[in-house]
């Protein structure tokens, strides 16, 4: 890892909070379904309409793909981090394409907490911050619901205290 | 006419101009007439009587509908808010907070100009394109209403029953028609059009078939159309300054007068295309929250074409209203990108530079078409650093400032450590700038 580039995404004196590892479970489950179902279906079709050994091709291919996705999801989830500073919220994510966003509390227009059915089953929620800019992409997926609610209320309170005009 | 808002409080409500249903309805009428005309021209449909009967039924119905809609649309001021009520069946009552007003446009469509009517558009953040529009008002009424809106938004308190005076203005720049035509001719579409015309002539000469010319028409028409559109919409472009902010007027057929109050400019972009450089012309674009929603890039011109030094004079004036006295963006020291950025951006890396003083953030890019973004620090909604895999290998990163839709300032391919430092500094500068931000009601600002 390039030490110089580590600086840009890790401002000194920042204590990063990770997202829940359950986010990895949700994404891995999704990957398993998306890769496994077509692979198994293709294997069954090949076993029925061609020779049985052919069924190994999609199964092995699917397994390899899944193993890769497994590792990628792990790294991606580990790369997520957020930090609450006195005046702004820091977010960082991405392994191949890295990103660090600084959102001043006073710039927040509203905060969303969302959770899909899979997220709810796994006990994670997504907190999304909105500013007046459409390009501000500030969302934290995979927070435990209690932490998401705490963060939402805290952000809203801090935003109110520091609100500034456009 | 008045309506009770709460017990014991009454708001004066006004109506739109009574000719509104006719002006709004004429487009529908034009479509029907066009269909009729087409059918008559093609000789289809036999006698035009059935269509005429339909027309005879539709037109009065449309007029009655328009009249009812007019009857139920009323507006008035309730302290700091503009109240707009509309709808006969589905009533809608809208309140527009005037301290959040970003700009006021007075638009006069061609027909409206003939009848002396104008539409007033209020730009507010959020919501879809130009909500809170009032169409149509008499021209004088529209100007009086604009003055009143701006006065209330500025925090000037007029005595009850007294009209807000129109703020005096000074014309800062007028774009001569000849220069505008020249700037449109010296643009990429023209070069493309000329190239295509040559191809077309050669094609006709080789094949000996004039029909070949028609094959290129579908490409030529939109190009020519785009040029004509620019000429028509930016014709007679005038920039004026007033205590209520910038006044931009433009248009040949449909005229538009925009007023952008002080403190509403999110960013400026000075563009210098290659073909204009020999004439020393530049274009200045402005980003105002609320305008981006229409996605019409035309509406963002602060100066469609002007000599460089005059453009910079205007930029300095605009910055003065935004951040206080400023020597201009060209006085901000810029730092180029490291030479290793060449591996990613072999040509344009030479044009990449970024700089900041305590008031504005400046970034430049481009070699053939040069662009310079100028952003008051206080306007940044959020600040981002991004890094792709290639940038990572070279130890580079990009800095982005997030603004309301419009200009998107960024600085590509900075040294990664420098990008981190730029981010930290920009966050600090923005915080300091927000802390000393002037009040939204610009009349409450003290000159100093």
Locate the domains of chain A by residue range: 22-76, 81-162
Beta-strand relationship, B360-365 and B117-124: unpaired
The CB density around residue B273, as the number of other CB atoms within 10 Å, is: 19
- Whether residue B253 lies inside any domain: the answer is no
Task: Provide the 3-class DSSP secondary structure of residue A89.
Answer: strand
Number of CB pairs < 8 Å for A and B?
A: 113
Confidence of residue B401 (pLDDT cuts 50, 70, 90): very high
If asked whether residues B224 and B273 sit together in one domain, one would say: no
Confidence of residue A143 (pLDDT cuts 50, 70, 90): very high
Confidence of residue A4 (pLDDT cuts 50, 70, 90): very low
Locus of tokens 């935004």: B322
Q: Is A14's Cβ below 8 Å from some Cβ in B? A: no
Q: Measuring CA to CA, how many Å separate B393 from each of A4, A78, B92?
A: 11, 21, 57
If asked whether residues B310 and B424 sit together in one domain, one would say: yes
If asked whether residues B229 and B295 sit together in one domain, one would say: no
CB spacing of B416 vs A2 below 8 angstroms: yes
If asked whether residues B188 and B300 sit together in one domain, one would say: no
Nearest CB partner across the interface for B416, out of A5, A11, A88: A5
pLDDT tens figures, B164-213: 777 788 999 999 999 999 999 888 877 887 887 788 788 888 877 777 66
If asked whether residues B364 and B230 sit together in one domain, one would say: no
B residues 379-398 closer than 8 Å to A (CB):
379, 381-389, 392-393, 395, 397
CATH number of A81-162: 2.30.29
If asked whether residues B400 and B295 sit together in one domain, one would say: yes
- Whether residue B222 lies inside any domain: the answer is yes
Total structural domains within chain B: 2
Domain range spanning residue B193? 176-234
Q: Which residues of B167-197 are buried (b: 16+ CB within 10 A; e: fewer)?
A: bebeebbebeeebbeebbebbebeeebeebe
pLDDT tens figures, A29-85: 999 999 999 999 999 999 998 888 888 999 999 999 999 999 999 999 999 999 999
Whether pLDDT at A121 is above 60? yes
The pLDDT of residue B306: 95
pLDDT tens figures, A103-112: 999 888 889 9
With contacts defined as CB-CB under 8 Å, which chain A residues touch B408?
135
- Please report, rounded to a whole number, the percentage of residues in chain B having pLDDT higher than 70: 89
Q: Is A99's Cβ below 8 Å from some Cβ in B? A: yes
If asked whether residues B228 and B269 sit together in one domain, one would say: no
With contacts defined as CB-CB under 8 Å, which chain B residues touch A135?
400, 402-403, 408
B residues 409-448 closer than 8 Å to A (CB):
415-417, 419-420, 423-424, 427, 430-431, 434, 437, 439-440
- Whether residue B81 lies inside any domain: the answer is no
- Whether residue B101 lies inside any domain: the answer is no
CB spacing of A7 vs B400 below 8 angstroms: no
Give the closest-approach CA distance of B437 to chain A in angstroms.
8
DSSP letters spanning B122-174: EEESSSSTT-S-EEEEEHHHHHHHHHHHHHHHHT--PPTTPPPPPPP-EEEEE
pLDDT tens figures, B287-339: 988 776 554 444 488 999 999 999 999 999 999 988 889 999 999 999 999 99
Cα B298 versus chain centre, distance: 6
For B424, the closest chain A residue by CA position comes to A11
């Amino acid at each position: 890892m390039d030490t110089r580039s580590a600086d840009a995404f890790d401002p000194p004196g920042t204590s990063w909070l990770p997202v829940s590892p359950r986010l990895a479970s949700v994404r891995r489950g999704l990957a398993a379904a998306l890769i496994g179902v077509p692979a198994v279906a293709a294997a069954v079709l090949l076993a029925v309409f061609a020779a049985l050994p052919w069924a190994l091709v999609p199964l092995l291919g699917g397994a390899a793909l899944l193993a890769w996705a497994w590792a990628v999801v792990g790294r991606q989830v580990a790369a997520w981090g957020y930090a609450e500073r006195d005046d702004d919220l820091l977010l960082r994510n991405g392994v191949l394409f890295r990103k660090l966003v600084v959102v001043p509390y006073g710039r927040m227009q509203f905060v969303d907490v969302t959770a899909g059915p899979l997220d709810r089953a796994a006990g994670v929620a997504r907190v999304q911050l909105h500013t007046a800019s459409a390009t501000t992409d500030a969302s934290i997926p995979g927070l435990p619901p209690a932490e998401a609610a705490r963060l939402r209320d805290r952000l809203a309170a801090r935003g109110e205290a520091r609100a500034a005009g456009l | 006419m008045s309506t009770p808002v709460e017990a014991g409080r009454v708001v004066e409500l006004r109506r739109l101009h009574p000719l509104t249903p006719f002006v709004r309805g004429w487009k529908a009428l034009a479509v029907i007439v066009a269909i009729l005309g087409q059918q008559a021209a093609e000789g289809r449909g036999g006698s035009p009587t059935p269509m005429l009967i339909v027309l005879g039924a539709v037109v009065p119905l449309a007029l009655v509908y328009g009249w009812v809609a007019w009857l139920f649309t009323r507006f008035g001021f309730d302290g700091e808010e503009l109240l707009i009520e509309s709808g006969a069946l589905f009533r809608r009552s809208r309140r527009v907070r005037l301290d959040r007003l970003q700009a006021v446009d007075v638009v006069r469509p061609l027909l409206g100009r003939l009848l002396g009517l104008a539409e007033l558009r209020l730009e507010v953040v959020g919501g879809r394109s130009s909500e809170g529009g009032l169409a149509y008002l008499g021209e004088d009424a529209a100007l009086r209403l604009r003055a009143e809106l701006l006065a209330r938004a500025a925090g000037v308190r007029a005595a009850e029953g007294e009209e807000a005076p129109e703020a005096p203005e000074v014309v800062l720049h007028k774009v001569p028609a000849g220069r505008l035509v020249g700037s449109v001719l010296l643009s990429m579409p023209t070069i493309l059009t000329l190239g295509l015309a040559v191809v077309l002539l050669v094609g006709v000469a080789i094949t000996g078939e004039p029909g070949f010319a028609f094959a290129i028409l579908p490409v030529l028409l939109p190009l020519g159309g785009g040029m004509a559109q620019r000429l028509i919409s930016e014709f007679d472009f005038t920039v004026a300054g007033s205590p209520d902010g910038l006044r931009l007027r433009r248009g040949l057929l449909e005229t538009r007068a925009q007023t952008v109050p002080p403190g509403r400019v999110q960013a400026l972009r000075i563009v210098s295309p290659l073909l204009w450089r020999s004439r020393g012309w530049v274009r200045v674009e402005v980003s105002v929250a609320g305008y981006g929603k229409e996605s019409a890039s035309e509406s963002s011109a602060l100066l469609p074409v002007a000599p460089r030094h005059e453009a910079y004079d205007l930029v300095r004036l605009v910055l003065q209203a935004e951040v206080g006295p400023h020597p201009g963006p060209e006085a901000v020291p810029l730092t180029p990108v490291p030479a290793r950025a060449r591996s990613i951006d072999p040509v344009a890396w030479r044009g990449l530079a970024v700089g900041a003083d305590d008031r504005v953030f400046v970034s430049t890019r481009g070699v053939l078409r040069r662009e310079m973004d100028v952003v008051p620090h206080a306007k940044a909604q959020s600040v981002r650093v991004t890094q792709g895999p290639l940038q990572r290998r070279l130890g580079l990163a990009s800095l982005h400032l997030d603004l309301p839709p419009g200009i998107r300032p960024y600085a590509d391919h900075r040294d990664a450590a420098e990008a981190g430092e730029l981010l930290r500094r920009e966050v600090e500068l923005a915080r300091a700038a927000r802390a000393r931000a002037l009040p939204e009601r610009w009349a409450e600002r003290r000159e100093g």
